[in-house]
């Protein structure tokens, strides 16, 4: 994830990211569900989701056109085939801001194919080719444990649960490629418009099913940091406010206090193109903290070499995954 910030859907502004002191993941205490609420979904396993993040990181950076990228794609396809009724690849050779062409692989797993009402769950699985927010080794790729890996880890655990206990509605899990190969602000090359989220832009114009139109979608990005807070992203509130409120209300019902009622600035993420091109109401659950002492910021590991497995909490993964699962298991 990038990310370019915007105040409204039509006027963009870039906001700098500032670091927070790193919290010790071992000191994070899991937040139990509120006993008064009767949970419909199975118990989301944070340990399993964490293991999925570890597995991705073991391939190294998943930069398009690298061996790590190829091996991880094979792994994700294999895992989804264990659980989904249908797995397919959507993509084509696509050009990035630096003039290079990469084979895009959007990986899609579908559940309950006969259901007409469907919900899309998505994340990106590629990683940033350079650590442009770091103070050293800026030209080297990052592990992307949080930025990419965490969202995928949550969705793979949801896929595993869907196999064991199907939902009444249809679910499509989409892992987007070529999301984080966006042009750095300091790049001396000619600026390329819409250089981020290339895979989701392609999918929005070339959907895996003709006229595919789910009821809504939920995008997960950077959902694994120990101290993560999730405020209501402005673009999501403009595109799909009822879905935002549904998800955040569920977070409150389950007793997860990292779902904050405040609203932040909007960002350009996969959901922006899914809304504007495909016209699908998609919201973004993303760590973008409103901190009065520090200022609004992404995860403190954003686009740095600190975005590694040491800064991932199985409890944060559990919180996000349980909320998303409870939302979809309540759909009729």
The 10s digit of each residue's pLDDT in 95-123 is 999 999 999 999 999 999 999 999 999 99
What the block records as the tokens of 41 is 């979904």
- CA angle at 298 for the pair 187 and 249, rounded to the nearest 5°: 140
How far apart CA 313 and CA 26 sit, in angstroms, is: 8
Q: For 2-28, what is the mean pLDDT?
A: 43
How far apart CA 294 and CA 226 sit, in angstroms, is: 17
pLDDT at position 43: 98
Encode pLDDT of 230-255 as tens digits.
999 999 999 999 999 999 999 999 99
**Domains, the chain, with CATH or none:** 4-329 (3.40.630.10)
Q: Which residues pair with 101 in a beta bridge?
A: 95
Encode pLDDT of 142-193 as tens digits.
999 999 999 999 999 999 999 999 999 999 999 999 999 999 988 889 999 9
Q: Is 88 helix (H, G, I), strand (E, B) or coil?
A: strand
For residue 156, report the phi and psi dihedrals to the nearest 5 degrees.
-65, -35
How far apart CA 134 and CA 237 sit, in angstroms, is: 31
- What mean pLDDT is reported for the chain? 90
> Is the per-residue pLDDT at 276 higher than 50?
yes
pLDDT at position 20: 41
> Is the per-residue pLDDT at 2 higher than 80?
no
Encode pLDDT of 136-153 as tens digits.
999 999 999 999 999 999
> Is the per-residue pLDDT at 315 higher than 90?
yes
């Amino acid at each position: 994830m990038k990310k370019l910030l915007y105040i409204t859907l039509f006027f963009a502004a870039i906001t700098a990211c500032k670091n927070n002191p790193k919290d010790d993941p071992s000191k994070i205490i899991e937040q139990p569900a509120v006993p008064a609420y009767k949970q419909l979904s199975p118990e989301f396993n944070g340990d399993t989701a964490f293991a999925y993040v570890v597995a991705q990181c073991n391939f190294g950076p998943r930069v398009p056109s690298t061996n790590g990228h190829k091996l991880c794609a094979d792994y994700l396809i294999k895992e989804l085939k264990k659980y989904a009724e249908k797995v397919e690849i959507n993509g084509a050779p696509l050009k990035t801001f630096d003039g290079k062409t990469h084979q895009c692989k959007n990986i899609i797993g579908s559940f309950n194919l006969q259901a007409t009402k469907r919900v899309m769950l998505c994340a990106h699985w590629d990683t940033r080719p350079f650590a442009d927010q770091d103070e050293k080794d800026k030209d080297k790729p990052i592990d992307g444990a949080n930025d990419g890996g965490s969202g995928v880890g949550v969705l793979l655990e949801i896929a595993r649960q869907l196999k064991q206990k199907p939902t009444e509605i249809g679910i499509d899990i989409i892992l987007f490629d070529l999301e984080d190969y966006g042009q750095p602000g300091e790049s001396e090359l000619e600026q390329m418009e819409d250089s981020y989220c290339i895979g989701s832009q392609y999918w929005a114009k070339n959907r895996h099913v003709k006229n595919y139109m789910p009821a809504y979608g939920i995008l997960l990005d950077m959902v694994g940091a120990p101290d993560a807070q999730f405020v209501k992203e402005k673009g999501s509130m403009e595109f799909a406010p009822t879905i935002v409120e549904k998800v955040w209300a569920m977070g409150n019902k389950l007793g997860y206090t990292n779902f904050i009622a405040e609203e932040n600035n909007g960002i350009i993420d996969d959901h922006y193109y899914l809304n504007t091109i495909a016209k699908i109401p998609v919201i973004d659950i993303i760590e973008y903290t409103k901190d009065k002492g520090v200022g609004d910021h992404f995860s403190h590991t954003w686009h740095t070499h600190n975005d590694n497995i040491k800064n991932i909490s199985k409890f944060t993964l559990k919180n996000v995954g349980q909320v998303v699962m409870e939302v979809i298991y309540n759909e009729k």
